[in-house]
């Protein structure tokens, strides 16, 4: 009988080889874009195992292993923005490794992520790394905030005018925080050493409620120095009938503030809302990861039975 422990190790090794191989190939495909944009775009992300979301040292070790295995300069290591993820982000960047910080839902957590980024760059500089080669994005999730708040608004019997407005209203002040953070003297010292600003990335931008505009998380979040990882369906919708109306964030800060105040008056506890999708997000990532392991295990067992 096959040792279950060895079986799991075989599966994880196979997944590691398959995923790093695929991502390496994707990095090669996008290399022309990477060079054309001086390293800003043309990047590919690979995530550490979501089972390590609350394990700082495990995340750091995994990030190093993935970076070494893929061995491409246009790679981003994806690390979740959990409490334990913060120190791991800093330590990974300190090694000269570019990072995609994922699962950011609230402003406080986003500010912590930016602090982790700058601390990592400061350590990277002290370690002798070329800061101009280190890039990062901070993935701020949008639609899941609307999903959670809409559910609560429905339970509260709130005014329908408040539905579907929280996601964008929550993201807009995040951009303000980005502008303010990357303008101070601490950042200027790093910028003079060649450091790149950590770009906000709008994630979860597929519209889940069919009653809403299917491109609203694209059109309503257009602003310079951001990334939008829209799913294919949303990309096709935007290509078909989307609009670029210019800067839809810095001109709408007051509206965003008014919306969030109205939600609070309606009975929405912002801090409680934000804690839910982070926990659920990690759980969903783990579920998907385990499904991947199960699929590979089945395939390996089938191949073994045929040999």
pLDDT at 172: 97
Its pTM surpasses 0.85: yes
pLDDT at 42: 97
pLDDT at 41: 96
pLDDT at 1: 36
pLDDT at 265: 97
pLDDT at 286: 87
284 is catalytic: no
pLDDT at 304: 65
Distance CA 251, CA 153 (A): 27
pLDDT at 281: 83
pLDDT at 3: 47
pLDDT at 285: 85
Do residues 66 and 78 make contact, with C-beta atoms less than 8 angstroms apart? no
Which is catalytic among the residues 31, 64, 68, 78? Answer: 78
Distance CA 158, CA 37 (A): 47
Q: Which residues of 104-120 are buried (b: 16+ CB within 10 A; e: fewer)?
A: bbbbebbbbbbebbbbb
pLDDT at 143: 95
pLDDT at 184: 87
In the structure encoding, which two tokens stand for residue 170, read together? 């929550």
pLDDT at 306: 57
Please return the burial class of 65, using the count of CB atoms within 10 Å of its CB with bins 0-12, 13-18 and 19+: middle
What architecture is domain 20-284?
Answer: Alpha-Beta Barrel (3.20)
pLDDT at 232: 96
Distance CA 49, CA 80 (A): 10
pLDDT at 9: 66
Residues of the chain with pLDDT under 70: 1-9, 304-307
Residue % of the chain over a pLDDT of 70 = 96
């Amino acid at each position: 009988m096959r040792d279950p422990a060895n079986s799991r190790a075989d599966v994880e090794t196979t997944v590691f080889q398959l995923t790093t191989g695929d991502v390496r190939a994707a990095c090669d495909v996008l290399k022309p874009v990477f060079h054309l944009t001086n390293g800003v775009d043309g990047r590919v992300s690979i995530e550490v195992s979501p089972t390590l979301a609350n394990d700082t040292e495990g995340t750091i070790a995994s990030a190093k292993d993935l970076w070494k295995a893929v061995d491409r300069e246009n790679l981003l290591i994806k690390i979740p923005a959990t409490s334990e993820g913060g120190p791991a982000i800093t330590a990974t960047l300190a090694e000269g490794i570019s990072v995609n910080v994922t699962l950011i839902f609230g402003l406080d957590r986003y500010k912590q992520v930016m602090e982790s980024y700058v601390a990592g760059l400061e350590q990277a500089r002290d370690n002798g790394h070329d800061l101009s080669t280190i890039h990062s994005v901070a993935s701020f999730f949008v639609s899941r905030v609307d999903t959670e708040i809409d559910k609560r608004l429905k339970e509260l019997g709130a005014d329908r005018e408040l539905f579907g407005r929280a996601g964008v209203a929550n993201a807009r002040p995040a951009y303000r925080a980005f502008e303010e953070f990357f303008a101070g003297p601490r950042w200027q010292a790093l910028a003079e050493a060649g450091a790149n600003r950590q770009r906000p990335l709008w994630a979860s931008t597929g519209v889940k409620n069919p009653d809403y505009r299917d491109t609203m998380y694209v059109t309503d979040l257009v602003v310079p120095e951001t990334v939008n990882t829209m799913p294919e369906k949303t990309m096709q919708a935007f290509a078909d009938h989307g609009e670029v109306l210019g800067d839809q964030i810095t001109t709408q800060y007051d509206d965003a503030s008014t919306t969030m105040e109205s939600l609070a008056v309606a009975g929405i506890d912002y801090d409680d809302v934000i804690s839910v999708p982070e926990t659920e997000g990690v759980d969903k990532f783990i579920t998907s990861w385990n499904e991947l392991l199960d699929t590979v295990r089945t395939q390996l067992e089938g191949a073994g039975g045929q040999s």
